[in-house]
A and B are shown apart, each in its own frame.
Chain A
Amino acid sequence: MGWRVGVDIGGTFTDVALIDEETGSIGIAKVPTTTRDFTEGVTSGLREGLARYGVPPAAVSRLSHATTVVTNALLEKNGAKTGFVTTRGFRDVLELRRSSRTDLYDLFQDAPAVLVPRRWRYEIAERIDAQGKVAVPLDEGDVDAVIAAIREAGLDTVAVSFLFSFLNDAHERRVGERLRQALPGVGVYLSCEVLPEIREFERASTTAVCAYVGPLLTRYLDRLQGTMSDLGLPRLLVMGSSGGMFDVAEALRMPAMTVESGPAAGVIAAALVGKELELPDLISFDMGGTTAKASLIAGGEIAVTAEYEVGGAGHSKRWLHGTGHPIRVPVIDLAEVSAGGGSIAWVDQGGALKVGPKSAGADPGPAAYGRGGMEATVTDADVVLGYLDREALLGGALRIDLAAAEAAIRRVADPLGLAIPEAAARIVEIVNANMAEALRIVSIERGRDPREFALIAFGGAGPVHAAALAADLLIPEIIVPPAPGAFSAIGVVASDVKRDYSRTLYADLAMLDPARVAAVLADMEATASDMLAAAGIPSERRVLLRAADVRYRRQAYELTVPLAAGPMSRASLDALASNFHEKHHQTYGHATAVEAVELVTLRLTAVGRLPGLQLGRLPGGAAPARRRAREVWFAETGFATTPVHQRDELTVDHRLAGPAILEALDSTIVIPPGWIACVDGGGYIRLRRR
């Protein structure tokens, strides 16, 4: 037994979490993120964490991390010089996209971003038809010309995506082979290796994203891996967007898998808490400085979406085609809204009060931080209302300027004819409503009743706002984990090794030979086992989960239905069909048993389970006791003198009736009237409605 260490690189802070595999006790360290070179922040965070808890590098059994390198490269547009090679006639596929515009009425909207400039898009004569047969043979002369052009342009990397390569990849592989041979320094990404799935734009886009961020990710991971080895730490694992770890080689094979590394980690940690507390149905709620994220865990399972968009102008909801680059890789299904502590409040021309989407960010930050911020932010409202201490936060490390917060709130209070506290209350109410929207997207929109879930609240501001959100959605219970501010890093530590594989196989389920399914599954399972072995997972800890994307024959979108383990038979395919009918009825209100059911994609999730963790209590770090009561505003009472408690003073099973404030080093928990908080044995604060 040793220590597992996780690192989460956020926008402002790099968090390190250490968990003693034996006792389950957690250690955390927080250092500023070094955006110029993330390795520095990671190194100093690790040094600090290891030193603080007296952990020698040799005692670290596993080192995992969540990275924003890929997301940042896309946002800051500093990826590789990338080329794109495709079937003759289709060089513009990345630019033609899906042809709808993002905003119906925005006269001055920008054209959506394109990763590969038109001058670096190349065509090769070849064509596979819709049955997977060669309609036009590959023109090797065109390949020569493309090689010369790539060399001439001095490209770093190239994405290759031919039509129907998901049915027949011979041409794509041949071109890949020739490019790799002729251009040894150039990274080559093939769509049949990255994403063998239907829809040419989405497949090409995913491949181009991989090519664009690949070289940067390679340099970063190589460097970080080297530094970690120098420190005597073990081989690095990387957090994937679907909430599992894989080794560096896997990450480099498909860089798009690492886009939402950090947010995924928080959801993983939430699921772990659910398991520990035997609460299978949870909504995770993560509120930071600029955005809030919600995700649903039902029956202990994390929801994962198949489509995602990266590097765009920002989007609050998935699905709608926006301005970024679509990738089709599994990403933990998060709803993200522009609502955080730094979100700015304003009044629109119709006289409506709005909060966000603009944020004061870290610089200048909320007015209350006294760093020159003038605009009213959510944090300022929280200070005015007494949710946050009006003198200092973070155990005294962050001074609070109440007068500045009040002056900022006045900027919206005056035009609305409201008193300052009233305006602050409205701001909080609106930001809560915006965040409730995120919670609603992942619950009610999916046909899930939030009353049947517990809310797990984390991130710097999460526990301040959680109770109001829970009241709005009638969620009966809130869980605040130990160290909510570094909770995502804990998720990084806690994540299993995991990788998702998919293979397209179109067939009418009723006519399909089970042996065909078995053959594809066997092939995928062999690849998956090799990957798990390479990551050092012993065979007794490997789990392979099958699923199938199925739909009515004429539909375009599938539902993913689990597929039983073991040998494939007619009965297992029939069971798949009937499970699909049931799920369709449950999701959309109707099912048509007479209609043909079509298999589209076989999926395999390979999991290397890590030994189970017991999250123990956060060691040390109590905030110095400051004051015992302050004036806090609640809708039910207006301003009222409210007791303030320190988290560490509470013993197990201690009950605390709201209104009350519970403070810890890295967070404040607001307990409104009507709620009761208690501490359970695992160090969790649980709030229930009276």
Chain B
Amino acid sequence: MPDTLLGVPGLRRKTDPARFEVVKNALYSAAEEMKIVLAKTAYSPLLKVAGDYSCGIFDARGNMVAQGPDLPIHLGSMPDAVRAVIAAFPVVEPGDVYIHNDPYNGGSHLPDVNVVAPAFLRDQLLGFGCVRAHWPDIGSATPGSYGAVTEIYGEGLRLPPVRLYRNGQPDPDIERIIFANVRTPAERQGDLRAQIAANRRGAQRLEALAGKYGAEELLRIMDEVLDYSEQMMRAALGRLPDGEASFEDLLDGDGVIEPGAEFDEPFTVKLTIRKRGEEITADFAGSDGQVSGPMNAPLTVTASGVYCALKMIADPQSLIPPNSGCWRPVTVTAPPGSVVNAQPPAPVVYANHEVSHRVADMVMAAMFQICADNVMAASQGTSAVVTFGGIDPRSGERYVSYESLKGGFGARPGKDGINAVASTTSNMMNTPVEMLEMAFPLRIEEYSLVPDSGGAGTWRGGLGARRVWRVLGHEAHAAVCCERTITPPFGLAGGFTGGPMRLWLELPDGAVRQINGKGSFRAPAGARLVVEAPGSGGYGPPTGRDHALVREDRADGYVTREQEGSSNVGAHG
């Protein structure tokens, strides 16, 4: 009970506190309800069981007022998706629905398709619902759209903000363009209908609130919800010490092996944090220029990683309602044309999760120098994406499967990391083995924890997961997108690194082929793909670990041998 915080000056606002609380909660539960509608009606396993989508309620200027309990990577950048619609359509009508996915115009990467719908009370625009959902395929040369291409033109269908519905009726021309460009159009149609149903629910809830309290009152409260989060975030930042800290880290590569090179070339991201009073700046000056392959992050994606980590650091008990107001005291800058502020036509598909994951970990490492007790060691730092596509020999139909494997959640001062759970910017679920195998011609032969992958420390890092896919009765076109194969997740305060990302392909003849962490490849019938997600870093020196915990770890086989790893932090740490 934070009685001790009673002295913090209260927010002066017009609305009575009780009504404010009621309406704020109603807005958040509207976003949550959108999430439920989407899961229950979508067709692709990625959406219906793995939950790779996010929902939010936005004001008429595109600020996110309330978000569902979704994916921070989406949540940080979705306001730009709504703003792009507002910019493209100065006049919005009831019954409109907009769609777009352009990373250079409010999107994040092409597979993330934004559907935006306005809510009205009579003639008055109240705001928008937005559902960003990751489509398992958006075209391009590779099923799953995760090929290592060198321009955004090769990444799939690129939709600027367009009007998909007018007066509640779909525009069949636009639908035809979309479904001609994706591999499994029937499944996509189901997903799109689900996105629209979710938006419809969000709009209905907003309209009902306006009906009850009046549009003016609702809009005022929506403003106040943003101000409230801003005020709380400022107070939280104000309690942290001031300071400046830099951190530099090495990323595996971009998936493109340059002519004459033997390996995928690593690149560097540099971050400087400046914290003064109630405001904070994350400056990426000194980061490498954009790369050939799709590891280029639009600034909105980079910012998402910063926002997510800062929210966890400044508000570790998660008391502040997350919305656009939280980010007002935060400034993110990066040189245009750098790998963290991509400019067209650089390809971007991997960066969305790989760079934002890494940025979040880097913010933790930089902030460790300012407030060591409010951070965690590096988490898995990758979404460990694995896609398969081809023709299902059981039905003769085309399929695309998209999964993300989870690693460790970083160790914290006073607490071990968490085994194999989504961390920082990610929060997707796994696809149940039984549902995956019924839907696709694949067999999962193992799904387990990787012993010894948690970084040693006073507080041990979380373990990564291993998953093994066998390709059944057909040749699959597979692709992966993984980080941390070269630099494993760092520990902090003397904690060791977690186990690195590892992946290889076992061919039917027994040959084992190492595969690059990013890019596509053919997997013949009977081949096994083995993927191990990274464990997270430890916190504090391993010598400080309670002996009883060491014994328990051994008894449970989380740890089977003397811990290896290093306590080096970062590329030049």
Interface residues of A (CB under 8 A from B): 88-93, 95-101, 103-111, 117-119, 129-130, 135, 163-164, 166, 198-201, 317, 319-321, 344, 346-354, 358, 375, 411, 415-416, 426, 429-430, 433-434, 436-437, 440-441, 444-445, 506, 552, 554-557, 584, 588-590, 592, 595
26 interchain pairs, CB-CB under 8 A? A90-B447, A92-B447, A96-B448, A98-B429, A99-B406, A101-B421, A103-B318, A106-B312, A106-B317, A107-B412, A108-B317, A118-B558, A130-B437, A130-B443, A164-B434, A319-B36, A350-B11, A350-B228, A350-B232, A415-B6, A415-B7, A433-B22, A437-B25, A552-B43, A556-B42, A556-B49
Among B385-426, those with CB < 8 Å from A are: 406, 409, 412, 414-416, 418-423
The tally of residues in B whose CB lies under 8 Å from a CB in A reads: 101
Chain A residues near B375 (CB-CB < 8 A): 107
Could you tell me if A348 and B17 are in contact, using CB atoms closer than 8 angstroms?
no
Q: In the complex the two chains form, is B315's CB within 8 Å of A105's CB? A: yes
B37 partner residues in chain A, CB cutoff 8 A: 588
Q: Separation in Å of the B58 CB from the closest CB of chain A?
A: 18
A sample of 13 more A-B contacts (CB under 8 A), given A103-B318, A349-B2, A590-B196, is A99-B406, A101-B418, A101-B422, A105-B318, A108-B412, A110-B415, A119-B557, A129-B437, A346-B1, A347-B5, A552-B43, A557-B39, A589-B197
Given the contacts A90-B448, A95-B420, A101-B418, A433 and B21 also touching, CB distance less than 8 Å:
yes
Residues of B within 8 A of A440 (CB): 26, 29
Chain B CB count within 10 A is highest, among A99, A351, A416, A556, for: A99
B437 to chain A: which residues have CB within 8 Å?
Answer: 129-130, 164
**Which residues of B are found within 8 Å of A319, using beta-carbon distances?**
36
Query: Are the CB atoms of B33 and A99 closer together than 8 Å?
Result: no
- Identify the 6 closest CB pairs spanning chains A and B, nearest first: A351-B10, A89-B446, A554-B43, A556-B48, A118-B556, A107-B316
| Contact yes or no, A101 B420, CB < 8 A | no
Among B8, B48, B72, B465, the residue within 8 A (CB) of A104 is: B72
How far is the CB of A416 from the nearest CB of chain B, in Å?
7
Q: Which residues of A contact B269 (CB under 8 A)?
A: none
Binary A-proximity of B170-211 (CB < 8 A = 1, otherwise 0): 000000000000000011001001001100110000001000
Residues of chain A within 8 A (CB-CB) of B416 are: 111
> Nearest chain-A residue to B236 (Cβ)?
A349
Chain B neighbourhood of A592, CB < 8 A: 193
The answer for the CA separation of A321 and B32 in the assembled complex, in Å, is 13
How far apart sit A199 and B25, CA to CA, in the bound complex (Å)?
Answer: 32
- Given A344-B1, A346-B2, A352-B17: A436 and B22 within 8 A (CB)? yes
- Give the distance to chain B from A273, nearest Cβ to Cβ, in Å: 29
Q: Are B412 and A555 in contact (CB under 8 A)?
A: no
Residues B1 and A375 in contact, CB atoms below 8 Å apart: yes
Shortest Cβ distance from residue A506 to the other chain B in the assembled complex, whole angstroms: 8
Chain B 436-454 interface residues, beta-carbon cutoff 8 Å to A: 437-438, 443-449
Q: Does B308 contact A (CB under 8 A)?
A: yes
Q: Distance (Å) between the CB of B401 and the closest chain A CB? A: 13
For residue B44, CB closer than 8 A to chain A, the reply is yes
Complex: chain A residue closest to B413, CB-CB: A108
Is there a chain A Cβ closer than 8 Å to B311's Cβ? Answer: yes
Find chain A residues with CB under 8 A from B208 CB. 444
B2 is contacted by which of A199, A348, A429 (Cβ under 8 Å)? A348
Chain A residues within 8 Å of B421, by CB: 97, 99-101, 111
In B1-29, which residues have CB < 8 Å from any A CB?
1-3, 5-11, 16-18, 20-22, 25-26, 29
Say how far A440's CB is from chain B's closest CB, in angstroms. Answer: 8
Task: Report the separation of the CA atoms of residues A130 and B436 in the bound assembly, to the nearest whole angstrom.
Answer: 9
Chain B residues near A200 (CB-CB < 8 A): 432-434
B228 and A352 form a contact (CB under 8 A): yes
Given contacts A95-B449, A349-B5, contact A163 B429 (CB under 8 A): no
Q: Is the CB of B409 within 8 A of A348?
A: no
**CB neighbours of A91 from chain B (8 A):** 448
CA distance A416 to B70 in the complex (A): 33
List residues of chain B with CB within 8 A of the CB of A88: 446
A353-B17 contact in complex given A320-B69, A557-B39, C-beta closer than 8 Å: yes
A88, A111, A358, most chain B CB atoms within 10 A: A111
Q: Is the CB of B3 within 8 A of A433?
A: no
Could you tell me the distance in whole angstroms from the C-beta of B42 to the nearest C-beta in chain A?
Answer: 7
- A433–B197 CB distance below 8 A: no
Secondary structure at the A interface, as helix, strand, loop or mixed, is loop
Closest to B410 in A: A107
Report whether B423 and A347 are in contact in the complex, using a CB–CB cutoff of 8 Å: no
B residues contacting A by CB (< 8 A) are 1-3, 5-11, 16-18, 20-22, 25-26, 29, 32-33, 36-37, 39-45, 48-49, 51, 69-70, 72, 75, 186-187, 190, 193, 196-197, 200-201, 208, 228, 231-232, 235-236, 308, 311-313, 315-320, 322, 374-376, 406, 409, 412, 414-416, 418-423, 427-430, 432-435, 437-438, 443-449, 462, 465, 468, 555-558
Is the pair B445, A89 in contact by a Cβ cutoff of 8 Å?
Answer: yes
Q: A130 to nearest B CB, angstroms? A: 4
Nearest opposing residue in chain B for A347, CB measure: B6
Tell me which residues across on chain A come within 8 A of B448, comparing CB atoms.
Answer: 89-92, 96
Most buried by B among A96, A117, A556: A556
Chain A: minimal CB distance from B420 (Å): 5
Contacts of A118 in B (CB 8 A): 449, 556-558
Please indicate the chain B residues that have their CB under 8 angstroms from the CB of A92 in the complex.
420, 447-449, 465
Which of B415, B421, B465 gathers most chain A CB within 10 Å? Answer: B421
For A166, list chain B residues within 8 Å (CB): 434
User: Which residue on B lies nearest to A110, using beta carbons?
Assistant: B415
Q: Are A351 and B11 in contact (CB under 8 A)?
A: yes
Query: In whole angstroms, what is the CA distance A98 to B11 when docked?
Result: 39
CB-based contact B193/A590 at 8 Å: yes
Chain A residues contacting B418 (CB-CB under 8 Å) are: 101, 109, 111
Do the beta carbons of B422 and A556 come within 8 Å of each other?
A: no
The interface residues of chain B lying within 8 Å CB-to-CB of A321 are 429
Residues B409 and A117 in contact, CB atoms below 8 Å apart: no
From A101, A415, A416, B427 is in contact (CB under 8 Å) with: A101
Known A350-B232, A437-B25: A104·B412 in contact at CB below 8 Å: no
Looking at A98, A106, A434, the one whose CB has the most chain B CB atoms below 10 A away is A98
Q: Which residues of B contact A346 (CB under 8 A)?
A: 1-3
Complex CA gap A349/B232 in Å reads: 7
B434 with A130: CB separation less than 8 A = yes
Q: Which residues of B contact A93 (CB under 8 A)?
A: 447
Alpha-carbon separation in the docked complex, A313 to B5 (Å): 24
| A residues in contact with B51, CB < 8 Å | 100
Find out whether the CB atom of B430 lies under 8 angstroms from the CB atom of A96: yes
Contact of A437 among B29, B235, B312 (CB under 8 A): B29
Tell whether, in the assembled complex, residue A556 and residue B45 are in contact, meaning their CB atoms are under 8 Å apart. Answer: yes
- CB contacts (< 8 Å) of B2 on chain A: these are 346, 348-349
B267 to chain A, nearest CB (A): 29
**CB atoms of B10 and A199 under 8 A apart:** no
- Chain A residues within 8 Å of B445, by CB: 89
Are B40 and A557 neighbours in the complex by a CB distance under 8 Å? yes
Most buried by B among A110, A351, A592: A351
B337 CB, min distance to chain A CBs, angstroms: 31
A398 to chain B, nearest CB (A): 25
Tell whether, in the assembled complex, residue B318 and residue A104 are in contact, meaning their CB atoms are under 8 Å apart.
yes
Q: Smallest CB–CB gap between B33 and chain A, Å?
A: 6
Contact B39 A99 (CB under 8 A): no
Cα of A590 to Cα of B312 in the assembled complex, Å? 39
A552 touches B190 (CB 8 A): yes
Contacts of A429 in B (CB 8 A): 18
Chain A, Cβ-Cβ closest to B198: A588
CB distance from A588 to the nearest CB of B (A): 5
Which residues on the A side are within 8 Å of B200 (C-beta)? Answer: 589
CB-nearest residue of chain A to B190: A554
- Among the listed A99, A111, A441, which residue makes an inter-chain contact with B430, where contact means beta carbons less than 8 Å apart? A99
Give the shortest distance, in Å, between B344 (CB) and chain A (any CB): 31
Chain B: CB-nearest residue to A415: B6
> Chain B residue with minimal CB distance to A437?
B25
Contacts of B311 in A (CB 8 A): 105
